[in-house]
Structure 1
Amino acid sequence: MQRVYEVKVNNIYIGTFEEADGVGLWQALSEEPGAVNVPESRLADWQDLPDDNVRTLLESAKAAGFIDDYDMDLVEG
């Protein structure tokens, strides 16, 4: 059974995701107003972030400056 995390980005609750669901988290972040700061000129960079798992996506997004901070709270696993 995979670990499941509640994810907040920039103090906005994004949802609950299985550890390996980086793609689902990326989609949720893209749809949540104010969760990420992606200028038009950097859309390709945002789309190309590694999304192998939740932590990888969040760390990459932070390192690239798309998010300021995040919280991952283990809720299952």
Structure 2
Amino acid sequence: MTIKVNGKEVATMKEFEFEDGERLWQAISEQFQLVGENDAERLAEWQDLPDDDIKTLLSAAKEAGFIEDYEIN
């Protein structure tokens, strides 16, 4: 299984378990600049996104406007 965010492959399910939202959050943080350095409020919002599982994290990130789209194949 492959996870893409904004058209870019972020991870494969070989690397992550479905429940591993926290590790995916870290991978997205490292690969994309979603929050500017001077935007402390948005950074706090990004850090507080629910990461119970991959789908929950990606849905919340899209709803909050941090990502445009995602795909799980």
TM-score, normalised relative to structure 1: 0.80
C-alpha deviation, 1:33, in angstroms: 3.3
2:55 corresponding residue in structure 1: 55
Which of 32, 35, 38 is residue 38 of structure 1 equivalent to? Answer: 35
Deviations 1:1-35 (A, max 9, x none): xxxx411000111012211000010000000035x
Equivalent-residue separation in structure 1 for 2:65 and 2:8 (angstroms): 16
2:25 corresponding residue in structure 1: 26
Indicate the structure with greater strand content: 1
Query: Which blocks of at least 5 consecutive residues in structure 2 are unaligned?
Result: none
Deviations 1:15-74 (A, max 9, x none): 12211000010000000035xx2232310000000000000000000000000000011x
Equivalent-residue separation in structure 1 for 2:6 and 2:17 (angstroms): 20
Equivalent-residue separation in structure 2 for 1:20 and 1:68 (angstroms): 22
Query: Which blocks of at least 5 consecutive residues in structure 1 are unaligned?
Result: none
* Paired residue total: 67
